[in-house]
Chains A and B, each alone.
Chain A
Amino acid sequence: MAEMTVIEAVRSALHEEMERDERVFVMGEDVGQRGGVFLATQGFIEDFGPQRVMDTPLAEASIMGIALGAAFRGMRPIPEVQFSDFVWPSVNQLIGEAARSHYGTNGALKVPMTVRIPYGGGIRGGLFHSQNVEALFFHTPGLLVVTPSTPYEAKGLLKSAIRDDNPVIFLEHKKTYRLVRGEVPDEEYTLPIGPADVKRAGSDVTVVSYGLSMHYCLAAAATVADDGISAEVVDLRTLKPLDSETILESVQKTGKLLIVHEDNISGGIGAEVAALAADEAFEYLDAPIARLCGPDVPTMPFAQSLEDAYMPSPESIAAEIRRLAAY
């Protein structure tokens, strides 16, 4: 086991997959000589050359359209969106085209493409370097949406995404890149896309989250444990498909459900998880389903005070767990 950061895990997964399969290649803005703005592909150009570590013009729609076309030919492209905030120009190629290429050809075409997107806030990124973009992709049939929270998951899930024949939106929370460290096996491994993971077992309240805020949930669960409250933390890991089995199992056990995410509350993942619990675990619920999510403003503003007001925190999560536990 080696300890590494999330970005190191991403880099390691990419490198191993590019070594394993010549059809795998990365493309994006500044991914070549610079190694990407977050250094996900640092040093790759020396190992794989400029064709497989391709610097593209600054043009997201074409990055995605070209990746898609290359996937049609049987390549396994990994386009990188420099920051999630800049994915919008390419959204037609993702939601309009990639997501329905298999369906719209009655199964004739496959789209083995993994779109890597650094996302999320808490890094003083303001309105245009902090966005959570997951809800839109979550809403789109035909896509897979993956949101790892730890180095172990980032590596194992990214390798699975690259080997998958469906288009995968791979969301890497950029605050976790260097903040979150963890053990990663030395030997080859993958993690399946789909299953959630119970990161902390508990019996009083189920807390469902993903990405950076999952870590805040763990911190909150540790805090409330001192007061004798036992919170179970479910890390979704994959948003699409949603692991309803793990969520329902936990809710049936605890009878109380809190969903935490950074993304705006309205129409977010939390709304779907809440609907799932209401539909399928109604008889087990002992309290109203609670959501602690980003407020409905475009994203977190730049000023520290406003960013803090936007982000869920271990403290605000702990307070919400206590409220539910006491209900």
Chain B
Amino acid sequence: MTQAPSSLPTETDAEPSIATVGDKAGPALPAGLTADDLVEVCRQMILVRAMDERIWMMNRQGKVPIAASCQGHEAAQLGSLLAAQKDGDCFLFPYYRDLALKMAVGLTPRQVMLSFMGKDGEPYSGARQFPLQGADLPRNIIQISNVVAAGLTQSVGYALGCKMLGDDTVTLCYFGDGATSQGETHEAMNFAAIHKLPVVFVCENNKFAISTPQESQMVVSDVAARAEGYGFPGFVIDGLDVIACYEATRQAIEHARNVGPALIEMKVERFMPHTTDDDDRRYRDRDALDEARQYDPVTLFPAQMVDQGIATPAQIDEFRTDAQSQVNDATDFADAAQPPDASTIYDHLYV
């Protein structure tokens, strides 16, 4: 599935080609990354997976009304986020499947569990919306909506605002393959191109929109191919490879800041049904799914880091133990928390 991406043109075009990164043979670290960063990604991945599994379980216990799992998307989200964090001046418009990203920006497991259980203190919307949806402005995140693709034009408008105000900020907008069928996706990309806005479009392509496979959504094999039609670069990246996602995003951010929009398509896998309400046995080939799970980044990436001597087995074990205890604590905490008071229903309707 990996397709060799070519390097993104930038005004200061002295960057290594993305094609050379994600090469599992050598331990050479791409620009700006330290061993500590990668160890930290291992920790986050393990924590997010433990959280994701627990959330699903709490749904089955009737305590989480709805959840969209990010299993299979972790490498894409965390690699991409790492580039945004290293850059230090990025604003994010994620979508509902971006649990790993939304946690890794600094939400505590307790806050996340409050959100999934719809309790008071929920950080995005005061539990008015689906989990982790609304805004987390202290961490530069807006996601107003469940309406697929509605965030794309908003992210472009945000970037326009940044440009008009003279900010250096780059806006990153995340969405699924399904979102690329919406008219607003086209409108957003076209407008961003016309005004050379500092936006990075990140498509997390898991090849399904609920049950609808990619071949029923489009005839092209790569969403990234559409970028050419808007006059900006598009790249296909192995979304199971943290470092490739980091490096592609890093270059795309630089391109966005100096030149204009870029589209990165991260080919990922969706290991779980669409949401807790979905039964994917109706439409998903089990053998293909089992095969995909062989490439689970949450298993492979820590192992690779240990192989390369970047992390130790003891560290990874500690991350796992620690993740379980954090998730236990978060579950107990959120379970005991109160829902928002009904009297708040009219709060914040108008400024």
Q: Using CB atoms and an 8 Å cutoff, list the residues of chain A in contact with chain B.
A: 23, 25, 51-52, 56-57, 59, 61-62, 64-75, 77, 89, 92-93, 96-97, 100-110, 141-142, 144, 164-166
Q: B154 and A69: CB pair below 8 A? A: yes
List the 5 closest pairs (A to B, CB-CB), nearest first.
A69-B157, A65-B153, A73-B161, A62-B187, A106-B126
Asked if A66 meets B156 with Cβ closer than 8 Å, knowing A73-B165, A110-B351, the reply is: yes
29 interchain pairs (CB within 8 A)?
A23-B165, A25-B164, A51-B164, A57-B187, A57-B194, A61-B187, A62-B187, A66-B153, A66-B156, A66-B160, A68-B154, A68-B157, A69-B160, A70-B157, A70-B158, A70-B161, A70-B164, A71-B157, A71-B161, A72-B142, A73-B158, A75-B161, A75-B165, A96-B145, A97-B154, A104-B133, A105-B142, A106-B347, A108-B135
Complex CA distance for A141 and B347, rounded to whole angstroms: 12
| Residue in A25, A51, A97, A166 whose CB lies within 8 Å of B351 | A166
Asked if A104 meets B165 with Cβ closer than 8 Å, knowing A57-B194, A61-B153, A62-B153, the reply is: no
B184 neighbours in A (Cβ, 8 Å): 61-62, 65
Is B80 an interface residue when CB atoms closer than 8 A count as contact?
no
Number of A-B pairs whose CB atoms are under 8 Å? 143
Give B163's nearest chain A residue, CB to CB.
A51
Q: B162 and A165: CB pair below 8 A? A: no
Interface size class of B (residues with CB under 8 A): 35 or more
Is B63 an interface residue when CB atoms closer than 8 A count as contact?
no
| Residue of B152, B157, B164, B350 with most chain A CB atoms under a 10 A cut-off | B157
**B 180-191 binary contact with A (CB < 8 Å = 1; else 0):** 000110011011
Complex CA distance for A97 and B148, rounded to whole angstroms: 12
| Residue of B129, B142, B164, B165 with most chain A CB atoms under a 10 A cut-off | B164
Q: A66 and B134: CB pair below 8 A? A: no
Give A55's nearest chain B residue, CB to CB.
B194
| Residue in B137, B152, B350 whose CB lies within 8 Å of A166 | B350
Q: B124 and A105: CB pair below 8 A? A: yes
Give B344's nearest chain A residue, CB to CB.
A106
B147 neighbours in A (Cβ, 8 Å): 92, 96-97
Complex CA distance for A108 and B160, rounded to whole angstroms: 20
Q: Tell me the B131-155 residues at the A interface (CB within 8 Å).
A: 133-135, 137, 142, 144-145, 147, 150, 152-155
Q: B157 and A104: CB pair below 8 A? A: no
A108 neighbours in B (Cβ, 8 Å): 134-135, 137
Is B326 an interface residue when CB atoms closer than 8 A count as contact?
no
Asked if A106 meets B161 with Cβ closer than 8 Å, knowing A65-B150, A97-B145, the reply is: no
| Residue of A68, A74, A101, A105 with most chain B CB atoms under a 10 A cut-off | A105
B156 neighbours in A (Cβ, 8 Å): 62, 65-66, 69
Give A75's nearest chain B residue, CB to CB.
B161
Q: B161 and A65: CB pair below 8 A? A: no
Complex CA distance for A308 and B142, rounded to whole angstroms: 48
Q: B162 and A73: CB pair below 8 A? A: yes
- Shortest CB-to-CB span from A163 to chain B, Å, is 11
Complex CA distance for A103 and B183, rounded to whole angstroms: 26
| Residue in B144, B155, B188 whose CB lies within 8 Å of A101 | B144
- Shortest CB-to-CB span from B216 to chain A, Å, is 23
B349 neighbours in A (Cβ, 8 Å): 102-103, 141-142
Asked if A105 meets B351 with Cβ closer than 8 Å, knowing A61-B187, A75-B164, the reply is: no
Is B320 an interface residue when CB atoms closer than 8 A count as contact?
no
Asked if A100 meets B351 with Cβ closer than 8 Å, knowing A65-B184, A73-B162, the reply is: no
- Shortest CB-to-CB span from B183 to chain A, Å, is 6
| Residue of B142, B156, B159, B160 with most chain A CB atoms under a 10 A cut-off | B160
Complex CA distance for A107 and B347, rounded to whole angstroms: 8
B194 neighbours in A (Cβ, 8 Å): 57
8 other A-B residue contacts (CB within 8 Å) besides A66-B154, A66-B156, A72-B161: A59-B183, A62-B190, A67-B157, A69-B156, A105-B124, A108-B134, A165-B351, A166-B350
Give A89's nearest chain B residue, CB to CB.
B183
B133 neighbours in A (Cβ, 8 Å): 104
A64 neighbours in B (Cβ, 8 Å): 153
B128 neighbours in A (Cβ, 8 Å): 103-104, 106
